[in-house]
Chains A and B, each alone.
Chain A
Amino acid sequence: MNSEQSLWGRISNSNVFYHFVRDKVAFISASILLLIILAAIFAPLLTSHNPNDLATLDVMDGEIPPVWTEEGDERFLLGTDDQGRDILSAILYGARVSLLIGICAVVLQCLLGVIIGLVAGYAGGRVDSLLMRLADIQLSFSSLMLAIIVLAFFRAFVGGDLYSQFAMVILIFVIGVAEWPQYARTIRACVLAEKEKEYVQAAQVMGFTTVRIMFRHILPNCLSPIFVISTVQIANAIISEAALSFLGLGMPVTQPSLGSLIKSGFDYLQSGQWWITIIPGLFLIVLVLVINLLGDWLRDVLNPKLYKG
């Protein structure tokens, strides 16, 4: 136990890393996730055309099925959507937006929720009532309403023309803020139960600050529901973003995210153009799947009692 270990040394010596290298599922999931992220980042290199460059689109290329079907077209490996966008390119470019929004929004939700939940649960009494009623108010204003509110403010103070430049930030903000109560209430409940336990009292006796007790001691013992909610929320956030775009609040329609790509295909689902929804849908499922698997794995690893040795 040399204290002068390099960062890498500490990482490679840590439990998480140790179990990671030995867990096939975790390893494969992480590889796939990495692959997806890389593909999204390097999308311009991997695709034949940029679906966000509108000039390259032609409606007459619309709704071409994937190459392996009869009417397929070699130019479009996975077919095209109604606007003639190559699905493959659209997925990769869309994944950029969706991943960023999904992950950032969930991080924001989680951050807000965890802080508020910890404070509410730990402080109790008035603070608790106040924060929890705030959560009730927030819940009443679902992301839909919140988006409208934020947009109205944005228009009033910044001007609507700039919207598309800030769309991403606004979306992250809206989705991030709309759902914090989920976390807050869960954490609060957990804190209520944990704070009666003796190890918390022991920490109090040590003279630790409240903040430290909340984050260092209680929070790690409340991780498991957070993990479950988070993995669900990422999928949710990606879909919500698409739903908000209907209200004119999403990303610009000319730059479809993964969610809006899926959503735009709903109309076509029954009429046979399945690929517009199903292929990006599968992509989303794989994405969420690996995130979930990693989440499950991480949760187990972070629980010392579950070490398999």
Chain B
Amino acid sequence: MALLEVNNLKIEFPSRHGVAVAVEDVSFEVNPGEILGLVGESGAGKSTIGNAIIDLLSPPGRVAGGDVFLKGEKISSLPASRIRQIRGAEIGFIFQDPMTSLNPLFTVEEQLMETILANLDVTQESAKQKALNMLEQVGIPEPEIRIKQYPHQFSGGMRQRVGIAIALSADPALIIADEPTTALDVSIQDQILQLIRSLCKKRQVGCILVTHDMGVIANITDRVAVMYQGNLVESGTTEQILQRPEHPYTKSLISAVPRADVKLKRFPLVNYIEKASVGFSQIDVSNHWLGQTSASDVSSVAKGEDLLRVEHVNLRFITKNALLAKNRRYIQASDDVSFTVKKGETFGLVGESGSGKSTIARVIAGIYPPESGRIFFADQEISAMSERERRPIRRQIQMVFQNPYSSMNPRMRVQDIIAEPIYFHKLAGSRKEVEMIVGDLLDHVGLGRRAGIKFPHEFSGGQRQRISIARALATRPQLLICDEPTSALDVSVQAQILNLLKDLQDELGLTMLFISHDLPVIRQMCDRVSVMRYGKILEQNETEALFISPQHDYTKNLLALIPHMDHLSREGLMVQQG
């Protein structure tokens, strides 16, 4: 008997503008001990299916048809009390967005413990032990100290791991993991995936793993289901799907996987677009609004010269406050970090989760003031400026946040979110022009103009990430800080977006600071790369040089762990070599 059986599931989101069908006629099953990989286009309805299984669709959403069976019991339309028993204990769920799924007011320990105590019959003491154990297993360093902290004190990847720890802590029979490793570096990703895998094999746990990472699919899943625009277009064993894809979408998807082995000029594009509802168009930057410069731009820096200089930046976070200075405990999130970014280049930052990448990005963006050290932008020391002096420069340094959802005002429509900086910095002449630009940007990130009237919570994880990118581009920045800009995107959309960035860079000399865990992407995108660990920069080099001959042991280790995709078929696929 299958552990989970989904039959003809149909899910709708009704709204005043009509009913949006998010999932249509989807059926699949998961057997005990099996890992089912769910891949597909961003916004295809993967997360929605997961939510529907545990009956937690967010409000207007409703299951319009189909059934779900768990161990033979029909769990769709169960009474609330019974489904509550199933959640946690039977089905462990890892949400896609780690930032917002942890309660900000409770410590990690409380959130772990309550899950264990609610679902398992154990004592307080052993629950505590188990909680610690779980944190350790997901690779959080110093779990005894960390467990007492609050979510906001964790880095993106660490929060994601806490989410995983919580979902696994109650020994569920089925795990639904919605992109569980997007914010994790390869070594930790590997550790987590092994953990899940061993759970599946040892305890016959079933698992649905939603991911965009073909490497992950290739390495740990048993079977794969491919989704496209709300439909399940293809499913089969991993090997079958990866090597002999049948559906054109699957084929193009696989062809777009970025390569870790050679650097290409542009990302290969997927040209399978079934309904062509949302058209990606390559932009002609010279005529495009994005290509125009406004008067206030810093144009003094010539291509190839230093645009950004980070000198000896230090930043500590207090982890334990105390009256006396000597009793306080800190985390050195940024330890004497120095680097420069030249105009027109892409500078990569890689490193362990929690190593301080986001922190340094935030320091540059002016969210955290550095404790010591200086930052120069176009030879102006921005770290020493007052807020007022700094404001005109801010527009030119934009950031794509690691957590797109929490970085968007939940009460604003997407079109307003994107239009606001344009209005504010007076980058367009008329209201009409602004609306045109916004629509255009939405098109470029593959959402379509109609998305503008929706609110952030109505989007899928990947869609939000694209909104975030569109917003960052709307100010026509000189320097774009991308903190995991494509972690939630499927490879095809990812390719589109990254190509867009590349175009902008080629034509306009856009400079980028690119943070990512995805080493193939780094290899494709960056000119130079720094490797970070424990707040320090370990190594810094030209990308190719670094990939070919890494110096530091940590770097070597990292590169070795890139999932292998040798068995990935590339033949007969439409690959555009730029």
Contacts and interface: CB of A to CB of B under 8 A. Distances in A.
Q: Is there direct touching of A and B in the complex, by C-beta distance under 8 Å?
A: yes
Interface of A: 1, 3-4, 15, 18, 196-199, 201-210, 212, 216-217, 220-221, 302-309
Interface of B: 13-16, 58-60, 99, 152, 362, 365-367, 387, 391-395, 397-399, 401, 403, 406-412, 420-421, 424-425, 431-432, 435, 449, 452-453, 455, 457, 471, 475
Given A204-B367, A205-B398, A304-B410, 20 more contacts: A1-B449, A1-B452, A198-B99, A198-B406, A198-B407, A199-B407, A202-B401, A205-B367, A206-B395, A206-B471, A207-B392, A208-B424, A220-B411, A220-B412, A221-B410, A302-B411, A307-B59, A308-B60, A309-B15, A309-B60
Q: What 9 pairs across the A-B complex have the smallest Cβ distances?
A: A207-B394, A309-B60, A304-B455, A202-B407, A220-B411, A198-B407, A198-B406, A309-B14, A207-B395
Contacts of B410: 199, 221, 304-305
A210 B387 contact: yes
A211 to B, nearest CB: 11
A304 B395 contact: no
A209 B391 contact: yes
Nearest to B393: A207
B397 A217 contact: no
Nearest to B455: A304
B59 A306 contact: yes
Contacts of B408: 199, 202
A306 B410 CA distance: 12
A305 B411 CA distance: 9
Contact of A217 (B409, B425, B452, B475): B409
27 contacts: A1-B435, A4-B432, A18-B16, A197-B406, A199-B406, A199-B409, A201-B367, A201-B401, A204-B394, A206-B420, A206-B421, A206-B424, A206-B475, A207-B393, A207-B394, A207-B421, A207-B424, A212-B424, A220-B412, A302-B411, A304-B411, A305-B58, A305-B59, A305-B457, A309-B13, A309-B14, A309-B16
B302 to A, nearest CB: 24
Contacts of A198: 99, 401, 403, 406-407
A306 B411 CA distance: 11
Determine the main DSSP class of B at the interface with A.
mixed
B406 A205 contact: no
Contact of A205 (B394, B420, B425, B435): B394
Contacts of B457: 304-305
A204 B365 CA distance: 9
B424 A205 contact: no
Given A18-B16, A206-B475, A309-B15, A216 B420 contact: yes
A205 B432 CA distance: 25
A221 B409 contact: yes
A297 to B, nearest CB: 16
Contacts of A1: 435, 449, 452-453
Contacts of A206: 394-395, 398, 420-421, 424, 471, 475
A4 B475 CA distance: 25
Contacts of A210: 387
Nearest to B364: A205
Contacts of B366: 204-205
A303 B403 CA distance: 21
A306 B455 CA distance: 11
B379 to A, nearest CB: 19
B539 to A, nearest CB: 28
Contact of A221 (B13, B397, B411): B411
B15 A307 contact: yes
B59 A3 contact: no
Contacts of B420: 206, 208, 216
Contacts of B475: 206-207
Contacts of A303: 411
A302 B394 CA distance: 30
Contacts of A207: 391-395, 421, 424-425, 475
Contacts of B367: 201, 204-205
Nearest to A196: B152
A193 B575 CA distance: 49
A77 B494 CA distance: 75
Given A206-B421, A309-B16, A201 B407 contact: yes
Nearest to B397: A205
Contacts of A208: 420-421, 424
Nearest to A216: B420
B433 to A, nearest CB: 9
Contacts of B387: 210
Contacts of A308: 59-60
Contacts of A202: 399, 401, 407-408, 471
A230 B47 CA distance: 39
A212 B406 CA distance: 19
A309 B12 CA distance: 11
Contacts of A221: 409-411
B131 to A, nearest CB: 26
